[in-house]
Amino acid sequence: MRFDQTVTTTCGYCGVGCRLEAHAVDGRVVSISPALDGPANHGHTCLKGRFAHGFSRKRDRLRTPLIRDARGGELRPATWEEAIERIVSELTRIRDRDGGPDAIAGLASSRATNEDCYVLQRLMRAAIGTHNIDNCSRVCHSPTSWALRQSLGLSGATGSFDDIDAAGAAIIIGANPTEGHPVAGARIKQATLRGLKLVTIDPRRIELSDYAVAHLSPRPGSNAAVMLGLAHVVARDGLIDREYLDARTEGWDAVEDLLGDYTPGDVQRISAVPAADLERAAHIYAEAGEASILWGLGVTEHKYGSEVVRLICNLALMCGKVGRPGSALLPLRGQNNVQGSSDMGALPDTFTGYQSVADEDVARRFEARWGVSMKRERGMKIPEMFDAAVAGDLKAMYIFGEDVAQTDPNTTHVIAALEALEFLVVQDIFENETTRYADVVLPASSFLEKSGSFTNAERRIQLVAAAADPPGEARTDFDILVAVSAALGHAMPFASPADVMDEVAALTPDWAGVSHERLGRAGLQWPVAADGTDSPILYRDRFELPTGRARLAALPYKPPGSEASDEFPLVLVTGRRLEHYNAGTMTRRTGNLDLLPSDWLEIHPDDAARLWVADGDLVSVRSPHGRIELPARVTERIEPGHVFTAFHFPEIRTNLLIGSSADVNTSCPEYKVVAVDVRPVAEHASRTPAIASAT
């Protein structure tokens, strides 16, 4: 096939950040191939990045603005002028007369570009006058971001995917890379075939466990005990890097005292991980010359997820395994721009580069640049926004690229919040569960139709290039947000996303040398010095904390927020499937739906036999918060007492089961431990309301 145009861009699905060649004919993307020089993918892609692009051409794309004239009425097509006029009149009414700026909140998207996120947070702060801005990393990796800053100084991976190839050993905890981050997963598989000693830690036996030298299956919610147990063995068996510990860290004495309570026998009682397996895993990691630790949402989406990330840092620091090739801490970010959306200040407490809104010098710098004055108190996090809406204190939201009614926990509470708002704007590419509550819907652009940059899981900022035009009257998110801000009275001096990046560089020390021109084909890993030198490895000589030393944290194991009981005897863990992405908005509109048309509940044969459930039976899953129905799949990949499903199918509505328990430091929901009762469907249906009704 002859293509009219081929552009090199960056995948819009997961945080690996594969570089792609997008080929277009007649202004439509018809095929995608891997960029051979992509630094994170080296010529590979997975079936999402390579084949799941057809969603961009679907007939049900939003093509024109929509307005709802009255709550409960239908959305109707409108002009851009009418839609923006309605947004301005409602937001200025609330800002100036009926609640003030803090009665309005914005949500940025970890799928959007850095530049889009920057413009939205500037809109909220400078055009509206509130720090009520957050992004969906709140519900996935905010514990990682917080903990890395506390322990090491900067909110990002300490190394790069290349460290997998340089490591002699690796631990993967709470992540399933071959499904969630397939190109990284394939790279890990290849490394094991070359001799990498891999340890997997997950309640469920993941595909990479088949390539591992050890697999630990802890009870959901007991990761802290496992990390403390590994540290205990390292200390007990003289495997500490004493020179590194003395020269580069602080806080060891308190940690040493604590570790006495976590012998392998103690940890076995808490986590069900056999003591011998724990000891073996500790030796594999500590005795390797270089070793890395990778983690995902199975670590973070817990009540004490942020504390477990700090314990992961402890282990690496005790072994002196931070700051060298092959010895990295690599959080696997779920969505393509989880890293960048937070880097860009789409957070209630920080501007770009995690500069605090409470820091007087920082705030003055932003005020001078934007020509406004701002508060020094932080704004609301996402869960606080929904609580405030239900309480009547938050009256309007601007939600950009997030289907919160589908993806956030405690779905009934989220819907109550959306219904309670006086005014809701949703900017997205399809109608979805959240647009059902919107007063104005703005048709936006997919990653194939815009330019800017994404930042992948190794802090690599990479260019995104438009291969096609947005459909119909849809516009790029950059154009929409700049237009709305100007209509609200705050004109931003940007002609293109490249201008946005220049402003980010001017205001953000860690991005001082970043420009679209410099990003080129390979991108740059922040921090980037003014001369353009980037940082594939952090903390070679010092940690980015006031003393230059890393902070060890003496944090004991605490039980999860949800535990099995007589009424709810099984523990549900949720995760991802290879074929789909997040709420499935994009992948379910492609051929990937033929590969995986529906979801199922994984259940161990022992539990299935006890419950009289056969493979393929429709089962009912009930938690204290709601009830869903889906088919059962009987498998030994899951441990007895646990069940597993994904969250890609809106009709199943897995998040109805999730309550409001959240990480103690960041409010990230406890998606990964939910006590449930599973029965053949007829038994629950006679006792509780129909599917999708929460109790």
Residues lying near ligand SF4 in the complex (CB under 6 A): 11, 13-14, 16-18, 41, 45-46, 48-49, 181-183
**497-507 vs 360-370: helix crossing angle, rounded to 10:** 150
60 touches 474 (CB < 8 A):
no
Going by their DSSP bridges, the two strands 550-551 and 524-525 should be labelled as unpaired
Minimum distance from CB of 305 to ligand SF4 (Å)? 22
Give the chain's count of helices (H) and strands (E).
25, 26
Instruction: Pick the closer one to ligand SF4 by CB: 16 or 441.
Output: 16
Instruction: Pick the closer one to ligand SF4 by CB: 41 or 109.
Output: 41
Q: What is the C-alpha separation between 26 and 342, in angstroms, rounded?
A: 36
Instruction: Pick the closer one to ligand SF4 by CB: 321 or 459.
Output: 459
| Preceding peptide of 34 cis, ω within 30° | no
Q: Which residues make Cβ contacts (< 8 Å) with residue 111, sequence separation at least 6?
A: 12, 335, 336, 337, 401, 447
What letter represents residue 139's amino acid? Answer: V
Instruction: Pick the closer one to ligand SF4 by CB: 181 or 588.
Output: 181
CA angle 653, 178, 591 (to 5 degrees): 60
294 touches 215 (CB < 8 A):
no
Minimum distance from CB of 210 to ligand SF4 (Å)? 20
Minimum distance from CB of 57 to ligand SF4 (Å)? 19
Instruction: Pick the closer one to ligand SF4 by CB: 17 or 221.
Output: 17
Instruction: Pick the closer one to ligand SF4 by CB: 13 or 494.
Output: 13
Name the DSSP class of 628: E
Instruction: Pick the closer one to ligand SF4 by CB: 314 or 341.
Output: 341
547-556 as b/e: b if 16+ CB within 10 A: eebbbbbbbe
Q: What is the C-alpha separation between 151 and 530, in angstroms, rounded?
A: 26
Minimum distance from CB of 218 to ligand SF4 (Å)? 27
Minimum distance from CB of 49 to ligand SF4 (Å)? 2
Instruction: Pick the closer one to ligand SF4 by CB: 43 or 689.
Output: 43
Rg (alpha carbons) of the chain, rounded to whole number: 24
Minimum distance from CB of 14 to ligand SF4 (Å)? 3
Minimum distance from CB of 34 to ligand SF4 (Å)? 8
Instruction: Pick the closer one to ligand SF4 by CB: 347 or 461.
Output: 461
Name the DSSP class of 128: I
Name the DSSP class of 219: P
Q: What is the C-alpha separation between 198 and 180, in angstroms, rounded?
A: 18
Instruction: Pick the closer one to ligand SF4 by CB: 135 or 592.
Output: 592
Minimum distance from CB of 19 to ligand SF4 (Å)? 9
Minimum distance from CB of 422 to ligand SF4 (Å)? 38
Instruction: Pick the closer one to ligand SF4 by CB: 11 or 297.
Output: 11
Instruction: Pick the closer one to ligand SF4 by CB: 576 or 642.
Output: 576
Minimum distance from CB of 178 to ligand SF4 (Å)? 10
Task: Please identify which residue in the block is written with the tokens 């109790």.
Answer: 695
Burial of 540 (0-12, 13-18, 19+ CB in 10 A): exposed
Which of 351, 364, 223 has its CA nearest to residue 299? 223
Instruction: Pick the closer one to ligand SF4 by CB: 44 or 672.
Output: 44
Q: What is the C-alpha separation between 187 and 146, in angstroms, rounded?
A: 28
CA angle 331, 334, 336 (to 5 degrees): 105
3-state secondary structure of 327: strand
Q: Which residue's CB comes closest to ligand SF4?
A: 49
Q: What is the C-alpha separation between 17 and 131, in angstroms, rounded?
A: 29
Minimum distance from CB of 169 to ligand SF4 (Å)? 23
293 touches 650 (CB < 8 A):
no
| Rounded-to-10 torsion of CA 341, 157, 659, 225 | -170
Instruction: Pick the closer one to ligand SF4 by CB: 16 or 281.
Output: 16
Minimum distance from CB of 591 to ligand SF4 (Å)? 15
Which of 495, 513, 469 has its CA nearest to residue 61? 469
3-state secondary structure of 368: helix
20 touches 5 (CB < 8 A):
no
Helix or strand holding residue 80 (H, E): helix 80-96
Q: What is the C-alpha separation between 421 and 411, in angstroms, rounded?
A: 16
Minimum distance from CB of 596 to ligand SF4 (Å)? 15
Minimum distance from CB of 16 to ligand SF4 (Å)? 4
